[in-house]
A and B are shown apart, each in its own frame.
Chain A
């Protein structure tokens, strides 16, 4: 234990003096948070120019459905194929595609008690729902001049609400910043290998596993400080510069659990790159490019909900997407422990696998 404390102390000193590494870890994600939150704020705002897909299911048959859909199309509303049944319509809206389905009963227009029903994706901005209702009023089959009788039904959506710009960008760039620990870890590790520090420690019977564990502690603390500062930036810096303030969740413990799981996965990744790379240049390429690719894929740089469906499927393979799911479960949906359990479990399993791979690679190379 004393040896581990000595290693922690050494790592802490070495990391705190790596000015460039610390700048990458703290200034870069903060800059991304501010820039991207401001740059994308219109995209996330209610009533944006997003195209909304809708469908019409008329009991009178496909021709009636098609005619009404044609009347409603335009000004950001795009018709899609009519679902087969009300149940199918409900299922489609649940998935968000289309975001609106208008159900027209058979006797609508003839029977005053017959009401239209509009199934609505809950993530659809109210401005766009109002816009659709206005178009509906203008195209009420020419039957009535007053507003048509209508039931509005918001269909439950397991995806939860869509994040605002700051809700997307703060956790996203925090995760990216956490994974950037790959840079200082590998630079320090390679320098220690080059200077003979690692060989000397191994010759003093310090197990390699303890050397790796010795690096985990200080880096974990740095990641937690990153998390606190980036959330603070979302809370204060972004609104100060004219953006929206980040609403913090009530469950800090869940937020800390997601941050901790993300940190361990990021450190595991960093340690594997450090052990695998023979030079700093190699580590920069493997670690830097790998991190950026995982960020691009995982919905960090481009939010997943604006990606095509096939890309959203691929995004699910990125650990950064798992971390983002965890943060969104807490920040966005005020979720419970059950909501973050799966993302956190995936991150922790990945962390253990990466650490085991680093140990295996080290022993394999020594044996070779």
Chain B
């Protein structure tokens, strides 16, 4: 129901931003997420990729030091996905801590330093990505390769999650 501008102003307002500071942050995050051109449009009418970028922009309004991103690339086009991953790398490069959850292991491999594999609410493995892939026991068992995807499938017994 709300436009992108109204969404950003609403979430900024809820978090205590107002006046010139709110306007400045809305402009800044809209530029960062490259949604300036769609700001007058209603969020419900946007494509999946644009909605994800709006979500990212909302998350950045208060310049948080820690950012929790829950499957931010689900259902988006390849261009938006690539843009989101680049943006997340850039944010991490600025010194922010980013907690990123995903079912796409190649994304995790591409942007994460430390990884925790969680299944059914239990942490099965955690550590630096390189260390996990070097883990001798896992490598011995996972003969098909050293990808995070293979490790994940091995640790979760390849069973379907119904």
Binding site for B on A (CB under 8 A): 2-3, 5-7, 9-10, 13-14, 17-18, 188, 196, 200-201, 203-204, 206
Interface residue? B153 (CB, 8 A): no
- Least Cβ distance of A251 to chain B in Å? 38
Interface residue? B1 (CB, 8 A): yes
Q: Is the CB of A14 within 8 A of B11?
A: no
Nearest 7 A/B pairs, CB to CB:
A6-B13, A14-B1, A10-B10, A3-B14, A6-B14, A17-B1, A6-B10
Contact of A14 (CB < 8 Å), options: B2, B13, B68: B2
Interface residue? B29 (CB, 8 A): no
19 contacts between A and B (CB under 8 A): A2-B16, A2-B18, A3-B13, A3-B14, A5-B13, A7-B10, A9-B13, A13-B1, A13-B2, A13-B6, A188-B1, A196-B55, A200-B11, A201-B11, A203-B68, A204-B11, A204-B14, A204-B15, A206-B14
Interface residue? B58 (CB, 8 A): yes
Q: A14-B2, A18-B1, A203-B68 are in contact. Are A9 and B10 (CB under 8 A)?
A: yes
Task: Give bound CA distance, A196 to B55, whole Å.
Answer: 10
Interface residues of B in 7-36 (CB under 8 A from A): 10-11, 13-16, 18
Chain A interface helix/strand/loop/mixed? helix
Task: Give bound CA distance, A188 to B18, whole Å.
Answer: 25
- Least Cβ distance of A246 to chain B in Å? 35
B residues less than 8 Å from A18 (CB atoms): 1
Task: Give bound CA distance, A77 to B75, whole Å.
Answer: 75
Most chain B Cβ neighbours within 10 Å, of A188, A196, A200, A204 = A204
Given A2-B13, A13-B1, 11 other A-B contacts at CB below 8 A?
Answer: A2-B16, A3-B13, A3-B16, A7-B14, A9-B13, A10-B2, A14-B2, A17-B1, A203-B68, A204-B14, A206-B14
B residues less than 8 Å from A203 (CB atoms): 68
**Per-residue A-contact encoding for B24-68, CB less than 8 Å = 1, 0 else:** 000000000000000000000000000000010010000000001
Most chain B Cβ neighbours within 10 Å, of A5, A10, A17 = A10
A-B contact count (CB 8 A): 36
Which residue of the partner chain B has the closest CB to A7? Answer: B14
Task: Give bound CA distance, A121 to B146, whole Å.
Answer: 93
Task: Give bound CA distance, A203 to B16, whole Å.
Answer: 15
Most chain B Cβ neighbours within 10 Å, of A6, A9, A196 = A6
- Least Cβ distance of B31 to chain A in Å? 21
- Least Cβ distance of A274 to chain B in Å? 15
B residues less than 8 Å from A188 (CB atoms): 1
- Least Cβ distance of A330 to chain B in Å? 36
Task: Give bound CA distance, A13 to B1, whole Å.
Answer: 8
Most chain A Cβ neighbours within 10 Å, of B11, B18, B68 = B11
Which residue of the partner chain A has the closest CB to B6? Answer: A13
Task: Give bound CA distance, A3 to B11, whole Å.
Answer: 9
B residues less than 8 Å from A201 (CB atoms): 11, 14
A residues less than 8 Å from B14 (CB atoms): 3, 6-7, 201, 204, 206
Task: Give bound CA distance, A9 to B11, whole Å.
Answer: 11
B residues less than 8 Å from A6 (CB atoms): 10, 13-14
Task: Give bound CA distance, A13 to B42, whole Å.
Answer: 12
- Least Cβ distance of B6 to chain A in Å? 6
- Least Cβ distance of B65 to chain A in Å? 15
B residues less than 8 Å from A206 (CB atoms): 14
- Least Cβ distance of A356 to chain B in Å? 24
Q: Is the CB of B6 within 8 A of A200?
A: no
- Least Cβ distance of A319 to chain B in Å? 29
B residues less than 8 Å from A3 (CB atoms): 13-16
- Least Cβ distance of B7 to chain A in Å? 8
Task: Give bound CA distance, A182 to B102, whole Å.
Answer: 36
B residues less than 8 Å from A7 (CB atoms): 10, 14
- Least Cβ distance of B2 to chain A in Å? 6
Most chain A Cβ neighbours within 10 Å, of B11, B13, B14 = B14
Task: Give bound CA distance, A188 to B1, whole Å.
Answer: 9
Interface residues of B in 70-105 (CB under 8 A from A): none
Task: Give bound CA distance, A203 to B13, whole Å.
Answer: 15
Task: Give bound CA distance, A199 to B58, whole Å.
Answer: 13
Most chain A Cβ neighbours within 10 Å, of B1, B2, B13, B18 = B1
Which residue of the partner chain B has the closest CB to A15? Answer: B1
- Least Cβ distance of A243 to chain B in Å? 37
A residues less than 8 Å from B1 (CB atoms): 13-14, 17-18, 188
Task: Give bound CA distance, A13 to B13, whole Å.
Answer: 15
- Least Cβ distance of B15 to chain A in Å? 6
- Least Cβ distance of B75 to chain A in Å? 13
